[in-house]
Structure 1
Amino acid sequence: MNPINSGAGAAGVHDIIALRQQIIDRSQLLQQLRAPDAQAASSAAQGPAGGFSDNLRTALDKVNQTQATAEALSTGYEKGEVTDIAKVMMARQEAGLAFEATLQVRNKLLSAYQDIMRMGV
């Protein structure tokens, strides 16, 4: 009697197919888990502070954009194009605060750098 054609044999084939599918699923999961490690290794090869420098650049770009918007509103008010003085003053205050925060972050980074440079090796 052929085991593949019997009822028990068919269940065995389905079990084998199910096991095979589980193995494939687990293999794919392991590959997905390893993929971020490979990406992290490639970004580490680019530079150890790649994430920090990108975040810092984005923050500085936002501050620059805020200042440009405030300047544009101020210029528009001087030309008479913008009549809402509250909007102009809010934009200028926002730009001033953003610049002050950026300056404080720079000061803290500079202080941390100087502390690191003073450490003995």
Structure 2
Amino acid sequence: MKIELSSPMLEAIAAARPNLTPGVVADAEGGGSASFAQAMKHAVEHIDGQQHDAQSKVTAVETGQSDDLVGAMLSSQEASLSFSMMMQVRNKLMAAFDDIIKMQV
């Protein structure tokens, strides 16, 4: 029995990135697949970049250099959600690691 998960969000992602293969993380250099550590490092760097971008947009609005308040708030919320998601993934990984350590062999 084959179970397929489908949602409008997944379909939009698939349409935007047609060469995306499930379960394989593309290497930053474009050749082959990345290790788990490289994928996590890339994700953390991406989230850090989002936070810096959001902070620069908020600073620009606060200093009067920009009047894009909505864009600044959206960037800030996106960075916040990305960070929260990263922390949830971290918590799940730590729980799984603890379960593996507690296993009796």
Same fold (TM over 0.5): yes
CA distance in 2, matches of 1:86, 1:74: 10
Question: Is the partner of 2:74 in helix, strand or coil?
Answer: helix
Deviations 1:40-89 (A, max 9, x none): xxxxxxxxxx7000000001100000000001001111101110110011
Pair 1:61 & 2:15 matched? no
Q: Could you say which residue in structure 2 is the equivalent of 1:51?
A: 35
Deviations 1:15-61 (A, max 9, x none): xxxxxxxxxxxxxxxxxxxxxxxxxxxxxxxxxxx700000000110
Alignment of 1:1-121 (within 5 A): 51-121=35-105
Ranges of 4+ aligned residues in structure 1 off by more than 4 Å: none
Aligned residues: 72
Cα RMSD, aligned residues only: 1.0
Q: Where in structure 1 are there 5+ consecutive unaligned residues?
A: 1-49
Larger radius of gyration: 1
Q: Where in structure 2 are there 5+ consecutive unaligned residues?
A: 1-33
Percentage of identical aligned residues: 35
TM-score, normalisation: structure 1 = 0.58
Structure richer in helix, relative to its length: 1
